C-alpha cells in the first residue's frame, strides 16, 4: 500500500506532533514551515505581567503565548488570581500541567466560539487581558468589547514570514511534480505566506485543488483557502489530530483503501 506523503506547513517548533501523527497513521510527513514564531518581551507584555491580578480574566489563544511567558516571566503563573479562558485543548492542557485551572474553553476552538461562550454566560463589564501576536485577527477583542468588557492586548510573540523559505520552494516543486498527496494548513498566515512564496499563485492554487488533498484545521483557515479558490476540507473539531484523522479517512476512501 502506498504511503500518502503529507506536507505540513505549520511553524517548525509546533510541527513535531503533526509529523508524529502522520507517521502513526501510516503516512510520510514533509515539513515546510510557512510561518516562524518568535517570542518577544514587549512593553505591552511587561505591563500585562505587572498588572496581572488587576484583570478579571486572561485569555490564552495559543501555546506560543504560554511559552513566551515562561521564557520572559517564569513566575507569571504563580499566585494568579484571575479567571482563565483558552482557545484550544492543547493550550488548555499546557496550563493544566502547570496546575492552573481553566475556567472556560469553548467547544468551537475559534475566537467566535469564545465570544459565544462569554455571551452565553453573560460575562460583561470585566477587565480582560489577552497576550497574543499583534497580527492576530481583531475578532476576539472587538467581540469582547461589544459585551462592554475592557480589553487589554499584549504582544507576546511575532508571527513572521519564514526566514528560510527554501523548504517551501522545494515543496512547491514537489507539488508541481505530483510527489505530494496532501497538504495541511493550521492558520490563515500559513496559507498567505505559502502563496506569497509561489511565483505563480493561480497555478499553485489550481494544483492544490486538483492534484492533492488540501486540509485546513478549521473554517477560519478554510475561508482563506476559499478566497484563493483552493478546494479544501476541515474537521468538525478544530484540532491537529482531528485534521489528520479526516485527511487519512478521505485519502483512503478516494484511493480505494
Q: Report the distance separating Cα 70 and Cα 161, nearest Å.
A: 24
Q: Look at residues 257, 182, 254 and name the one whose alpha carbon lies nearest to residue 213.
A: 182
Candidates 3.40.50.10090, 3.40.50.300, 3.10.110.10, 3.90.1150.10; CATH matching 5-35+162-254: 3.40.50.10090
9-13, 191-195, 216-220: least confidently modelled range: 9-13
Domains 5-35+162-254 and 38-159 share a fold: yes
> How far is CA 214 from its chain centroid?
16
For 75-113, the DSSP string reads TTTTT--SEEEESSHHHHHHHHHTTPPP-B--SS-SHHH
pLDDT, position 254: 86
Average pLDDT estimate for 67-95:
91
* Residue 148: count of CB within 10 angstroms of its CB: 10
Cα Rg of the chain (Å, integer): 19
Architecture of the structural domain at 38-159: 3-Layer(aba) Sandwich (3.40)
Residues whose CB falls within 8 Å of the CB of residue 14, separated by 6 or more in sequence, listed in order: 37, 63, 64
Digit-coded pLDDT (tens) for 219-231: 999 999 999 999 9
Neighbours of 61 (CB within 10 A): 23
Quick check: 30 and 171 in contact, CB under 8 A? yes
| 216-231 residues labelled b (16+ CB within 10 A) or e (exposed) | bbbebbbebbeebebe
pLDDT tens, residue by residue, 23-39:
999 999 999 999 999 99
**What integer pLDDT is reported at residue 16 of this predicted model?**
87
pTM for this predicted structure: 0.86
Q: If pLDDT is split at 50, 70 and 90, which confidence band does 82 have?
A: very high
pLDDT at residue number 103: 95
Q: Residue range 154-174: average pLDDT?
A: 92
**Given pLDDT bands bounded at 50, 70 and 90, which one contains residue 70?**
very high
Counting residues of the chain whose pLDDT is more than 90, the rounded percentage is 80
Predicted local confidence at residue 152, as pLDDT: 97
Using DSSP bridges, classify how beta strands 36-39 and 150-160 pair: parallel, antiparallel or unpaired: antiparallel
Domain ranges of the chain: 5-35+162-254, 38-159
The pLDDT score that the predictor gives to residue 1 is 56
Q: What was the pLDDT predicted at 143?
A: 96
Amino acid at each position: 500500500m502506498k504511503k500518502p506523503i503529507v506536507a505540513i506547513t505549520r511553524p517548525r517548533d509546533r510541527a513535531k506532533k503533526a509529523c508524529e501523527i502522520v507517521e502513526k497513521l501510516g503516512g510520510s510527513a514533509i515539513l515546510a514551515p510557512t510561518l516562524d514564531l518568535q517570542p518577544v518581551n514587549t512593553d505591552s507584555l511587561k505591563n500585562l505581567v505587572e498588572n496581572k491580578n488587576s484583570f478579571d480574566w486572561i485569555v490564552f489563544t495559543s501555546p506560543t503565548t504560554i511559552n513566551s511567558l515562561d521564557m520572559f516571566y517564569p513566575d507569571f503563573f504563580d499566585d494568579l488570581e484571575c479567571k482563565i479562558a483558552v482557545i484550544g485543548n492543547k493550550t488548555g492542557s499546557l496550563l493544566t500541567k502547570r496546575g492552573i485551572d481553566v475556567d472556560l474553553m469553548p467547544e468551537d476552538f475559534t475566537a467566535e466560539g469564545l465570544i459565544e461562550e462569554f455571551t452565553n454566560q453573560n460575562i460583561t463589564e470585566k477587565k480582560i487581558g489577552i497576550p497574543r501576536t499583534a497580527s492576530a485577527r481583531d475578532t476576539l477583542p472587538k467581540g469582547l468589547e461589544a459585551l462592554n468588557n475592557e480589553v487589554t492586548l499584549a504582544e507576546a510573540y511575532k508571527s513572521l514570514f519564514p526566514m528560510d523559505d527554501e523548504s517551501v520552494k522545494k515543496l512547491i516543486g514537489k507539488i508541481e511534480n505530483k510527489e505530494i498527496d496532501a497538504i495541511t494548513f493550521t492558520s490563515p498566515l500559513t496559507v498567505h505566506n505559502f502563496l506569497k512564496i509561489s511565483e505563480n499563485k493561480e497555478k499553485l492554487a489550481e494544483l492544490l485543488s486538483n492534484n492533492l488533498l488540501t486540509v485546513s484545521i478549521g473554517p477560519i483557515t478554510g475561508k482563506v483557502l476559499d478566497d484563493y479558490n483552493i478546494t479544501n476540507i476541515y474537521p468538525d473539531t478544530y484540532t491537529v489530530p482531528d485534521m489528520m484523522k479526516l485527511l487519512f479517512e478521505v485519502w483512503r476512501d478516494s484511493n480505494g483503501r
